[in-house]
A and B are shown apart, each in its own frame.
Chain A
Amino acid sequence: MSEEQNINQNNEPKEDKFLAEENKIRLVTGPDGKQFQVNPLDDYFCDKRPQVVAPKNKIIEKFLNWARAESLWVLGFGTGCGSIEIPPLLSPRFDAFRYGVQMRPTPRQSSVLIISGYLAVKTLKRAIRTYEQMQSPKYVMALGSCTINGGMYYDSYNTINRVDQYLPVDVYVAGCMPRPEALLAGFVKLKERIKAGNAEGANEYAEKFDWYKANQKKIIKNWNMPDYNW
């Protein structure tokens, strides 16, 4: 890791075949008629490292953690076959609203990311981007045996085996596939963890940022996005 704040580890030129068309360096004409060069990866995205935010005073933090635990906003982002288990949660039969679980459509507003099943390399990239756009404190729940040891995809060429190598996971829900009841039990477990003050995944991610990034880049060959993009 270089000493400067910019954390672009690969020093090779950014002009590569994977770069999306809109992210390539280009000339733009401003409203005043002047032409200037735009490098979207540097100009449009943030490349500041995540910071560790220490918990506040013990008593206040206990109260805040209680509020955080009782108000889990889940991102509606399905990664594998497990995503089919999430919609029934909101149906009259399981009714996760009772536990303070609500769905949010945007990563900015949500606090829980559910990795719902196997993660293909392509999806891992999206999951990382999504996780980094969420605001701290944030929690990750991994669903199904695929996220624990690869499950039935353990020897697949295109699927990762262990999610916690790439994202800090708070709660695993085992099963193939876990029933919605198991998912609810997972939420209850996550609540216990948050209330006990142990769910500091966002801080852990910031502390071991280099390790996580190195792992991620080992898997994702076509890294054509900024290193940290909130």
Chain B
Amino acid sequence: MNDIIIKLLWTLLGLFIVLNWGMLMGASMRKIVARVAHRRGIPIYQPWLDLIKLYAKRTSISHGVMFYLGPVFRLGGGVGIFLFLPLIYGSEYWSNFSWAGDLVLILYFQFFGMLGMALGAGEGGHPNSVIGITRGLSQFTTVEIPLTLAVISLALQYNTLSITEIVAAQQGGVQNWTLFTNPVATVAGMLSLLGALRHAPFNLVKAPNEVPIGPPTEYHSAFLGVLRTNGAVLHVVEAALFMNLFFGGATNWAEFIIKTFLIYFWSVFVGVVHPRFRIEQSVVWFLKIPLAIGVLAVILYI
């Protein structure tokens, strides 16, 4: 019993670290985008201030039960991925609650938040949120296909669905990373990561300067605070998932931070040099090259 509580406390500490690292990564991304556009950009502590301000709003209104539950489901999705994701390989405490089939569970949790958001945004009743969630779901469905194919390829390659075992198989040098042992699946995964992290060119769904801001049109105050908290957690855990699957995992926090930042930076790098896709363009894009590469990755290991 005591072991469980201690482990839970370590997991909460991990969540705190991941949340702050996610906000710092988000801020640095916005700094980079600003510097590319010859601006100074936001102060590096802006995301924390935004979050404090949102939680400290004095009034908030509700449209019903599902409106409350939407952000909760979204946060549940992000924290759910975190709970079952081993952060540091070989550490008993930082491997959270990962177990035999966590890879499948994480793929499920990725969609879970999106569906919760759809229900919440639907009850908000604003036409823009309905448009936004339709766009979001159709894009995310096509993002998931290459990712799932890459994961199937990995499962066939390593003969396991446990992330810890996949990381264990990649230890012992750079040449053992999936990046080199299964480059086709890595390419499919990294292309779908662009959509999963939702930066440009695939950020149409929640871009604030699109006419409908998307699903969170009606969300405000603490509701939006919860969504933003989840956004920060989700960025890190998505990057950490890809680090574990393709780049040999991490054996300490320094490695974790460097690798997640580089993986995150990959989507930022693509984002600042590409304009935003319309939704039908991004759907078609994911169903062409990444899907073909994903199918190839599976065929190679059948």
Contact = CB atoms under 8 A, between A and B. Distances in A.
Contacts of B53: 64, 67-68, 71, 111
Contact of B57 (A51, A95, A102, A135): A135
A98 B46 CA distance: 9
Interface stretch (B10-18, B150-158, B190-198, B209-217): B209-217
Interface string A39-79: 00000001000010100000000001001101100000000
Interface stretch (B133-141, B218-226, B249-257, B259-267): B218-226
Given A103-B208, A105-B211, 16 more contacts: A46-B61, A71-B53, A92-B39, A95-B41, A97-B42, A102-B50, A104-B213, A105-B208, A105-B212, A108-B218, A109-B216, A109-B219, A111-B53, A135-B58, A135-B220, A137-B57
B40 A64 contact: no
Q: What is the interface of chain A mostly: helix, strand, loop, or mixed?
A: loop
Interface in B14-50: 34, 37-43, 46, 49-50
A16 to B, nearest CB: 26
Interface residues of A, number: 26
A202 B221 CA distance: 15
B60 interface: yes
A154 interface: no
Interface residues of B, number: 33
Interface of B: 34, 37-43, 46, 49-50, 52-53, 56-61, 128, 208-213, 216-221, 224
A98 to B, nearest CB: 5
A88 to B, nearest CB: 12
Nearest to A66: B49
Interface of A: 46, 51, 53, 64, 67-68, 70-71, 92, 95, 97-98, 100, 102-106, 108-109, 111, 135-137, 202, 230
B125 to A, nearest CB: 9
B58 A105 contact: no
A221 to B, nearest CB: 29
17 contacts: A53-B59, A67-B52, A71-B50, A71-B53, A97-B34, A98-B41, A100-B42, A102-B50, A103-B209, A105-B210, A106-B217, A109-B220, A135-B57, A135-B59, A135-B61, A137-B58, A230-B61
Contacts of A53: 58-59
B39 A97 contact: yes
A81 to B, nearest CB: 22
Contacts of B218: 106, 108
Contacts of A136: 57-59
